[in-house]
Amino acid sequence: MKKLLLASASPRRRELLAQLGLGVTNFSFDVLATDIDESRHQGEAAATFVMRLATEKAAAGLNRWQHPNTVALGSDTIVVVDDNILGKPADAEEAIAMLSQLSGREHQVMTAVAVTDGHCTESALVATTVTFSNMTAAQIAAYVASGEPMDKAGAYGIQGLGGSFISRINGSYSAVVGLPLVETRILLQKMQLL
Ligand SMILES: Cc1cn([C@H]2C[C@H](O)[C@@H](COP(=O)(O)OP(=O)(O)OP(=O)(O)O)O2)c(=O)[nH]c1=O
């Protein structure tokens, strides 16, 4: 029987994957964090970059896992604003700078998901437009002090305190949180896991 390996350290991705009901439908999944180089190649477009990272996470997970009949899933989320790509902030100062850039305007969240069994690799990219309301400097400082921004692309979590600053989204909520559920379901169906 095939096994699914979630190549991710993200608790959000684990919860989202559980929403596909894998346990209920015969297939449970295991989780293994990967540690790939997440730096961007010179001149690499945002969409290419996020797809490459998702694919590399899936491949690295499969490589480390070394169990037969496994399909590994990797995912990556970035925030794109103007021509900048925002990943996870390195420190509070960078989180403040990111939120100041996002305040009062639209940006894109790109999430890629990739699955591989070592022979066949399938992937999908989802772009969602997110609109932030205006945040005052005091609101940004208080939000950063909450700690929530630190492990999240663009320094916010739509599913947490950050959600109260988001006036609109156009696209996939689950993709913003870290794993697009519809696209993931389709990929798992292609790999005969669902
Ligand atoms: C925009 C946004 C991002 N995020 C998260 C999703 C991702 O976990 C994180 C972006 O970092 P990623 O590098 O995509 O993922 P990760 O390091 O958390 O986990 P792994 O590589 O092991 O799979 O930001 C939210 O939780 N909420 C949001 O609203």
For the chain, list the domains and their CATH numbers.
Answer: 3-190 (3.90.950.10)
pLDDT band at 3 (very low <50, low <70, confident <90, very high): confident
Weakest-pLDDT range from 18-22, 25-29, 129-133, 187-191: 25-29
Q: For the chain, give the percent of residues with pLDDT over 90.
A: 87
ipTM (interface pTM): 0.98
- Over residues 43-72, mean pLDDT: 95
Nearest alpha-carbon partner for 101 in 81, 115, 125, 117: 81
- Over residues 124-129, mean pLDDT: 98
Identify the three-state secondary structure at position 168. strand
Ligand 1 atom, smallest distance to 154 CA: 1
* Distance in angstroms (rounded) separating the CA atoms of residues 167 and 116: 36
Ligand 1 atom, smallest distance to 75 CA: 23
- Over residues 142-161, mean pLDDT: 98
- Over residues 115-121, mean pLDDT: 96
The model's pTM is: 0.96
Active site residue 76: yes
Q: For the chain, give the percent of residues with pLDDT over 70.
A: 97
Give the CA radius of gyration of the chain: 17
- Over residues 129-138, mean pLDDT: 98
User: What does the pLDDT read at residue 23?
Assistant: 60
**One-letter identity of residue 163:** G
- Over residues 99-121, mean pLDDT: 97
Catalytic residue among 37, 76, 91, 117: 76
Contact 144, 95 (CB under 8 A): yes
Query: Residues with Cβ within 6 A of ligand 1?
Result: 8-10, 12-13, 33, 57, 75-77, 79, 88, 109, 151-154, 156-159, 176-178
Residue 164 CA to ligand 1 centre (angstroms): 19
Contact 71, 2 (CB under 8 A): yes
User: What does the pLDDT read at residue 27?
Assistant: 64
Residue 35 CA to ligand 1 centre (angstroms): 14
